[in-house]
Amino acid sequence: MSAADDTVRTRAYRWEDPRVPAAELGTRPGLEVLRSIASGDLPGAPIAATLGMSIVEVDEGRVVFGLTPQEFHYNPIGSVHGGVHATLLDSVMGCAIHSSLGAGRAYTTLDLSVRYLRPVSTASGTLRAEGTVVSLGRRVATAEGTVTDGHGRLVATGTTSCLIMDLTG
């Protein structure tokens, strides 16, 4: 393959130290940390830079991310890889739970279920992923999420359960 081959693509991106926002979890509520990430006062997660997703809205128990599909999201059959949808859903549902947690508390995904409803391509427009808390217990929380394309069509749905953890002792 020659350097002049027009089928070759390259991509470069940057991310910031993920320990910076993680350090804030011990002293600030999840909602405040997420709002600081959305405003740019704290760096986002490296996975957000990798995929090109960003926080669009943050409220207690509800988070919205946006992502514009790119060629680098494609699978070998010419559509956006399902892992992109799954990551969007895991992120917004987990962050919805995070937005409901107090300082010194964190979460980790216990399970994730995704239902793919239609293919996504660069022609789909910006994806909007919305996660909302369904149940918030002391040790386990559940959330649900949707992904719609730029034309308002539902492209994927998901559910999750997350383990709630205390960061102190």
pLDDT tens figures, 72-86? 999 999 999 999 999
Q: Residue 61 has what pLDDT?
A: 98
Please compute the mean of the pLDDT values over residues 162-169 and round it to a whole number.
Answer: 89
Over the stretch 85-144, which tens digit does the pLDDT of each residue have? 999 999 999 999 999 999 999 999 999 999 999 999 999 999 999 999 999 999 999 999
pTM over 0.85: yes
Examine the pLDDT at 162 and tell me if it is beyond 70. Answer: yes
- Tell me which DSSP letter residue 123 carries: G
Please compute the mean of the pLDDT values over residues 47-54 and round it to a whole number.
Answer: 97
Q: Which CATH class is domain 19-166?
A: alpha beta
Q: Residue 95 has what pLDDT?
A: 98
Torsion angle (degrees, nearest 10) of CA 85, 150, 51, 9? 120
Examine the pLDDT at 1 and tell me if it is beyond 60. Answer: no
Locate the domains of the chain by residue range.
19-166
Terminal CA-CA length for the chain: 56
Q: Residue 169 has what pLDDT?
A: 60
Examine the pLDDT at 168 and tell me if it is beyond 90. Answer: no
More confident residue, 121 or 6: 121
Examine the pLDDT at 2 and tell me if it is beyond 80. Answer: no
Question: What does the longest C-alpha to C-alpha distance in the chain come to?
Answer: 58
Rounded-to-integer distance, Cα 148 and Cα 128, Å: 5
